[in-house]
Amino acid sequence: MGERHGIHDGHVAAAAGIALVNAVANIAGLSVPPVIGRVKDATGSFGIPLFIIAAALIAGAAVALISRRFTTPGKLADQVASSPESTSGGDPITQEHE
């Protein structure tokens, strides 16, 4: 039968996480500069836009620290292994690649 690849080895989850981060960064990179320019034009200062960016960075750090307990190594693999789909023959995604 051979080695199984797919959701069980974590590569798909890692790729999905990287894709999500990339998508959010692209959206932010496209939408934030015009907002900063408008706020700077309205206030005459970069203080408020930079404060908003700093707050967003702090919020992102908090989310990363809080989500760490949900992303401990092996936790997702254990959940997948104990799911009903894995005990009844596995999921169709990994079966296609065997």
Domain extents for the chain?
8-80
d(CA 9, CA 45): 50
pTM of the model: 0.51
Q: Which pLDDT tens digit goes with each residue over 45-73?
A: 999 999 989 998 999 899 888 887 776 66
- pLDDT value for 11: 74
Banded model confidence at residue 1, pLDDT cuts 50, 70, 90: very low
Average pLDDT (17-32) is 89
Share of residues in the chain with pLDDT > 90 (%): 31
- pLDDT value for 50: 92
d(CA 71, CA 58): 20
Average pLDDT (17-34) is 90
